[in-house]
Amino acid sequence: MMTYEVLVRGVDAIEEVATKEEVARVLCPVEEHDGPCEVPWGFSVGDDGELVLGIYASPEMAAEVAERVRQVVAGHQVVLAQAAAGRFEELEMQHRIEHGG
């Protein structure tokens, strides 16, 4: 398990809110649910119109999430990368708290 970033490139300010909502529904289809989400996640904004989705997951799950994101953000490049140092550190802690580890 480690922290990854799913970068969605070319998202302008007008698209940002709608794109975040689409991506959020990929990870959490039911907004108000009991218990933790399958994959701890959060958003940030990167450079030059990048929407950055942080996730804490296994390599296999990270690849699956990136593919699911690709399917909902057609027209935007989606790149999976290891998280930048210091970004999304809270996701590992969230996983530990929610999964008792």
pLDDT at 101: 61
pLDDT at 47: 74
pLDDT at 32: 76
Rounded to two decimals, the pTM is 0.87
Instruction: Tell me the domains of the chain and their CATH numbers.
Output: 2-99 (3.30.70.600)
pLDDT at 66: 96
Closest CA to 97 of 7, 32, 19, 37: 37
Residue in the block written with tokens 């990167």:
46
Quick one: how far is CA 46 from the chain centroid? 13
**How confident is the prediction along the chain (101 residues), in pLDDT tens digits per residue?**
999 999 999 888 888 888 889 998 888 877 777 777 788 888 987 777 789 999 999 999 999 999 999 999 988 999 999 998 888 888 888 878 777 76
pLDDT at 57: 92
pLDDT at 30: 76
Burial tier of 32 (Cβ tally within 10 Å: 0-12, 13-18, 19+): exposed
